[in-house]
Amino acid sequence: MEQYKQEFIEFMVDCKALKFGEFTLKSGRKSPFFMNAGAYVTGSQLMKLGESYAKAIHDTYGDDFDVLFGPAYKGIPISVVTAVAYSKLYGKEVRYCSDRKEEKDHGADKGTGILLGSKIKDGDRVMIIEDVTTSGKSMEETVPKVRGAANVEIVGLMVSLNRMEKGLGGKVSALEEIKEKYGFDAHAIVTMQDVIDHLYNRPYKGEVYIDDTLKKAIDEYYAVYGA
């Protein structure tokens, strides 16, 4: 496993962005683990988060894209800090863009649409960036917004954690389903299997986060929802 992936797993644990226990997800699924990008709240944490996304995008997709699109709300700060990190690490200026939940009705940019940050223009190559995708449902809103803004190519999607669960169709993983449905690749900085490999019965800072009991709960969860 690449060094940045090991560091990102430990980073998620340190920031309490990745938790283990019993959680009810937005999809209604009862999960023994939960990922919350809202836990990254300090300057150093956000800097590390942006660098982790930038490294994963660079490693997976290279530099051939123009815009980072982060869906509201959590995708907004992620796209901003990743654009900053991309400039710092690779010397490439990429624009950031996000959507509003509602169209702005005041100020100098009143009536200019639902996008904020850089405008998307014809010919742009867009990288979508999100915190986590459980079922892939969020793409039903995001993809039409991006493709409706201009004649663009969506290069791919990068999320922080691949939960490795079935998508809405119930057959293949959410990330695989996104590729089948929308025609672009979807990847993650780390997969849940990476997390298990790195933390199972291995103490980190004096604590074992995934012991035999939790591993059994994860296995049972994947027996139902795993792809």
| Catalytic positions, written as ranges | 104, 106
Tokens of 186: 């979807």
* ω into 40 cis (within 30 of 0): no
Q: What is the distance between the alpha carbons of residues 124 and 122, in angstroms, rounded to a whole number?
A: 6
Tokens of 189: 């900085």
Instruction: Classify 101 as helix, strand or coil.
Output: coil
Which stretches within 62-166 are classed as H helix? 75-90, 139-149
For residues 157 and 178, the answer to whether their CB atoms sit within 8 Å is yes
Tokens of 136: 């892939």
